[in-house]
Amino acid sequence: MQNLSEKNPIVIDISRYQRVIDFKKVAATDVKGVYVKLTEGKTYLDSKAYDNYKAAKNAGLRVGFITMLIRLITL
């Protein structure tokens, strides 16, 4: 784990599973940014991605996106 410093800010990852997030409360902590889950596999788009993005940006947080790649192995 990296040491905490301005060069290594605290960032959290979120998805629709967290339900409603109060990003203003998050921004009032040491958290500096969020990674928003965007996609998974070829067809899944997180239904809360855009809302989470807007709310996090409006709270002054840095925002990045995560896409989950899934490799299926057939035996």
**Model pLDDT, residue 17:** 85
- The gap from C-alpha 51 to its chain's centroid, in whole angstroms, comes to 11
Query: Taking the domains of the chain in order of start, what are their residue ranges?
Result: 10-68
Q: What is the pLDDT of residues 6-40, one digit of tens each?
A: 678 889 999 888 888 999 999 999 999 999 999 88
Give CA 30 to chain center in angstroms.
Answer: 16
CA angle, corner 53, sides to 12 and 61, nearest 5? 55
